[in-house]
Amino acid sequence: MRSGTFDCLRQLRAKYGPGVYGKIAQKLLALAFYEAGFRHVVERGVQGVDIDVASSAEEKYALEVKTTDGESITISNENIEALRERAKDGYVPLIAALRMQLFEDWMFGKIPLGQLRAGSLPLRRLRAYRLRALETLVCPAFEAVVKQHFTAVLSGGEHCLSDLLEQRRKSASST
C-alpha cells in the first residue's frame, strides 16, 4: 500500500484501537470489492464468514478477514467451520490478511480447508496460496476507498461504513 493509505490506516488504528480498527478494515475491504466491480457483497460484523462476494455465479468468494502487525494471523476452529459452511454453497473459501506495514497489501489465500488448522498461521505460508489476480483487482480499489472515506471514518467510526455498505447493497440490488 502507498504511504498515504498506510498513514490513514495507522491514524484509524491509533484512534479506535486494534479491535475496532479490524472491523473498520473489514468494512473498507467490503467497500473495495464493490469498487472493484463485485455486485454481491455481504459484510458480517458478527458471526460466520466475515465477507461474501460474487461477481458472477462462477466467481464467488467467502473471506475470513484478519489484520496483524506481525508475521502471522490467528485462525480459530470457528473461522474454519464458517469457511467450510460457505464452501457448501459454492463459495471459494479465502483468508484475507493485511499486515500493517508500509508497502504491504491485502493477501487473499486459498488454502485448502483440509490443510487449514486452528492456531497461528504464518503469513509466509499464506503467500504460497495467493490469488494474485484478485489482489491486483481489489488492492487499488481498497486504496481508493480508504482515501475517499478516511475523513468520515475518522470522525464517525465504523458506523458510517456500515451505513455506506447498506446504501451500496440497496443500490446493487435495485439495478
Note the pLDDT tens digit of each residue in 96-133.
Answer: 999 999 999 999 999 999 999 999 999 999 999 999 99
**pLDDT class for 47, splitting at 50, 70, 90?**
confident
Query: Over the chain, what HEC string results?
Result: CCHHHHHHHHHHHHHHHHHHHHHHHHHHHHHHHHHCCCCEEEECCCCCCCEEEECCCCCEEEEEEEEECCCEEEECHHHHHHHHHHHHCCCEEEEEEEECCCCCCCEEECCCHHHCCCEEEEHHHHHCCECHHHHHHHHHHHHHHHHHHHHHHHHHHHHHHHHHHHHHHHHHHHC
pLDDT in tens, 64-85: 999 999 999 999 999 999 999 9
Looking at 3.40.1350.10, 2.30.33.40, 3.30.420.40, 3.40.50.620, the CATH number of the domain 3-174 comes to 3.40.1350.10
Q: Is the pLDDT of residue 141 over 70?
A: yes
Domain parsing of the chain, residue ranges: 3-174
175 has a pLDDT exceeding 70: no
What's the pTM? 0.95
Q: Residue 45: what pLDDT?
A: 75
